[in-house]
Structure 1
Amino acid sequence: MKRTNTATWLEKYNRWQIKVQKDGQRRTFTCSTPGRTGQRKCHAKADAWLDDNIADSNARVNSLFADYLKTLQETTSKSNWVKIQSFGKNWILPAIGTRKICDVTEQHLQSIINKGYAKGLSKKTLTNLKATITSFFKYCRKRKATTLLPEDISIPKGACSAHKQILQPEYLYKLFHSDITTWRGKPIVDPLIYAYRFQVLTGLRPGELLGLRWKDIRGNEVFVSQSINVYNEITTGKNENAIRHFFMSETATVVLQHQRQISHTERIFGDTDPQKYRKSWQRYCRANDIPQITPYEMRHTFVSIAKNLSEGQIKPIVGHSQNMDTFGTYGHEVNGELQKTAQQLNALFLEILEG
């Protein structure tokens, strides 16, 4: 069935609106995106509903979500689908699980986000919840169960980012001047001391650090191609930007040389999994009176130390993306710039470590 009318802008409600009818049933579609882009989105919603191919609109959300989760279990890592399973169990299904998919509106989905905000979820967690909702409804559209495209659900502006700590200079100094930890009440040399130091010098994610193999080191260049998740599974990393390469600073190179003298495994820092690494780091912090930051916050420490450098220098090292800006879309590697970054990073750390 073809649409014959067009969406109109309702100034009072600050949104586009279109009403269409099919088989005696009338539906209203809206979009709050201004300009012709919003009008096109509004038309797309109406056109999708008018399409006669919708075949599973009476299915219940909880049944569809179970199928969606099964698909993820077959195609993604456990660390990914477990998070989505948790969002479904704790937030999505309690709100709309018993509803027919055809009865779910964007307001139902926005209410899920709003409830999470009211319960104190961080901005990052709310963003991940929204991404789960969006991905689930994309799956449902592919199943021809709904035409709902929830692009207008939003994170409340008051949502706060979770507080992160870093190692301040005095504690960085301790990290590079003490290799002692405790084991069963006795002082010993920490077998992972060079892992801690290498992570804070390179900004690697904990899983990336533990996934590094000696064959990933070519001269003073590091090639990141795999990661170890919390379930000790080998993955390709957090996202497409996780696979990358960078040049080590001179200080990081020296740390790796020390590790090579004690390493006897394919993976540089042995077969340590993220949970053991975290516990080992916590013991080291207690033994050296260092604040209990997480291994992931050592990545934050790296970025904080290097923040006087440009984003164009740092983002390729830590594997961060940029959304359609000059650096992210048009910035390409120039021969020699990664080596220059390594030299500048080395100078920043030496200033702290030499006192």
Structure 2
Amino acid sequence: MSIRTNTAVWVEGRQRWQINVQKDGVRKTFTSAKPGRTGQREANRKADEWLEHSVISTSTKVDVLYPQFLTSKRATTSLSNCRPMDGRWRNKIQPLIGQKSIGRLTDGDLQQVLDRALAGGYSRKSLQNLRADLCAFLKWARRNRYTTLTGEDLEISKAAQRGQKRILQPKDVLILFNVDTTILRKNKAVEDYINAYRLEVLTGLRPGEINGLEWADWHGDRLELRRAINCYGETTTGKNDNARRVVYLSSLARQVLEDQYRITGPKGSVFCISNLQHYHSRWKRYCKVNGLPDIAPYEIRHTFVSISDALPEAQMKKLVGHSQSMDTYGVYGHEVQGEGEEISRNLDAIFSKILSAT
């Protein structure tokens, strides 16, 4: 730990208090624009905090520390979150900063990781995930006294493109609700998961939520979502804090569940999906056989969101469990008497219009 021997001075030309300090060969300037002795004390405090914050090692390479960070993440989060982090480390982070010592790592090095990823075609969403990885690593490194970097100045370029979400158009939805067959072993057969596809469109459930749905979750006009089963077979409570929710059902959605109940009810899994990879491949085959666009199962959910965009925002969140831009509803939103029936009526009106088209 270094000890400050000077004090902040007032710089008239810049109208601020300023102090220069040095530690381990690194020189830094701290300032405060507050007038009077309050500003001087604030600048001195900033300098003292930096001087007192010592690190235990600055020569350890990122190649050594980052795998330790990933190991700590595996102990606290699901495999479906960790696997992508492993991939981003190997493909985007390690090649650029893996051989750097943590003490020589700069914000510029970290920004270069993001800029290179952008040049390599990363979408805005992918860049946000990459930045989150870097900031989480720095937080872990600070806690373990390897660095003082925060990553708070890392920026995602405005040139980053937003990923284009694909959906089923109304004519495609019409096919989905009128054709229940596919081709298996060169023969026409009933698609086992047809009701799962239809329920996704009618409710906006995620594939993992469809996979985790049990008959005990169905209560007449609503579903109580308690779990999701991801592509690694892990049972989780869902993607975010809003994933556990009540989903109100339109009469069309109830009809789909009643049809499925005659097949797999009354106990256990609703759709008896062996795994999400199988679900994905069966959906892709169904699309190819019946002339639907080649979209991923998750994009069936986007179809619901797009079709139902006339719903009030608060009602939409209750249905799809979004985590962004709707936090106020999550904190303060409670069911108003009769709201569930109103949501069901609104959904019936929206989907009946599509399905009655010729």
User: Shift in Å at residue 44 of structure 1?
Assistant: 9.2
> Which residue of 2 is the match for residue 28 of structure 1?
28
Specify the SS of the correspondent of 2:28. Answer: strand
- Where in structure 2 are the equivalents of 1:88-103 lying within 5 Å? 88-103=89-104
**Residues in 2 aligned to 1:252 and 1:6: alpha-carbon distance in whole angstroms:** 70
Residues 48, 147 of structure 1: 8 Å contact kept:
no
Whether 1:214 and 2:207 are equivalent positions in the alignment is no
String of CA shifts for 1:92-129, please: whole Å, max 9, x gaps: 11111111112111111111101111111111111110
> Displacement of 1:339 after TM fit?
2.8
The CA distance in 2 between the partners of 1:250 and 1:76, in whole Å, is 37
Question: Could you list the runs of 5+ residues in structure 1 that have no partner in the other structure?
Answer: 36-40
Identity of aligned residues (%): 42
In 2, the alpha carbon distance for the partners of 1:108 and 1:7 equals 33
Bigger radius of gyration:
2
**C-alpha separation in 2, matches of 1:263 and 1:151:** 51
1:41-90: per-residue Cα shift (whole Å, max 9, x none)? 99998665322442133221111101111112222221111111111111
- Does the 8 A contact of 1:208 with 1:228 survive in 2? yes
Find out whether 1:239 has 2:240 as its counterpart: yes
1:34-113 equivalence runs, <5 A: 49-113=50-114
CA contact (8 A) 1:45 1:147 kept: no
Of 268-277 and 128-137, more deviation after overlay is shown by 268-277
Task: Name the residue aligned to 1:258.
Answer: 259
TM-score by length of 2: 0.87
Could you tell me whether the CA contact under 8 Å between 1:29 and 1:42 is conserved in 2? no
In 1, are the aligned partners of 2:135 and 2:151 still within 8 Å (CA)?
A: yes
Answer with 263-272 or 201-210: which moved more: 263-272
* SS of 2:223 mapped into structure 1: strand
Give the equivalent residue in structure 1 for 2:39: none
Check the 8 A contact 1:322/1:329 in 2, yes or no: no
State the Cα deviation string for residues 6-47 of structure 1 (Å, max 9, x = none). Answer: 999x99xxxx9974323x63333799xx99xxxxx9999866
CA distance in 1, matches of 2:204, 2:215: 18
Q: Kindly indicate whether the alpha-carbon contact (under 8 Å) linking 1:305 and 1:348 is maintained by their aligned counterparts in 2.
A: yes
Question: 2:318 maps to what in 1?
Answer: 316
Aligned length: 342
**What is the RMSD computed on CA atoms of the aligned residues?**
2.9
Q: 1:48 to 1:281 in 2, by over 3 A?
A: farther
Q: How does 1:1-355 map to 2 (within 5 A)?
A: 4-5=7-8, 19-22=20-23, 25-28=25-28, 49-263=50-264, 266-323=268-325, 326-327=328-329, 329-355=331-357
In the aligned structure 1, how far is the partner of 2:107 from the partner of 2:264?
54
Structure 2 counterpart of 1:277, which letter? Y
TM-score (norm 1): 0.88
User: Judging changes above 3 Å, is the alpha-carbon distance between structure 1 residues 225 and 324 closer, same or farther for their aligned structure 2 residues?
Assistant: closer
| Cα distance, 1:140 vs structure 2 | 0.6
User: Equivalent residue of 2:75, what SS?
Assistant: helix
Q: Tell me, in whole angstroms, the C-alpha distance in 2 between the residues paired with 1:229 and 1:318.
A: 17
Structure 2: where are the runs of 5+ without partners? 35-41
Does the CA contact (< 8 Å) of 1:6 and 1:43 recur in 2? no
Check the 8 A contact 2:199/2:253 in 1, yes or no. Answer: yes
The one-letter code matched in structure 2 to 1:125 is S
Q: Distance in 2 between matches of 1:71 and 1:150?
A: 20
How has the CA–CA distance of structure 1 residues 48 and 324 changed in structure 2, closer, same or farther, with 3 Å as cutoff? farther
Instruction: Describe the shift of the 1:54–1:233 C-alpha distance in structure 2 as closer, same or farther (beyond 3 A).
Output: same
Residue 108 of structure 2 aligns with an amino acid whose one-letter code is Q
- Cα distance, 1:43–1:91 mapped onto 2, change above 3 Å: farther
Three-state SS of the structure 1 residue aligned to 2:224 is: strand
Gap change, CA 1:319 and 1:6, over 3 Å in 2:
farther
Contact residue 17 and residue 28 of structure 1 kept, 8 A = no
Write the distance in 1 (CA, Å) between the matches of 2:207 and 2:224. Answer: 15
Distance 1:7 1:119 in 2: 47
Secondary structure in 2 matching 1:21: strand
Secondary structure, aligned partner of 1:75: coil
SS in structure 2 of the partner of residue 188 of structure 1:
strand
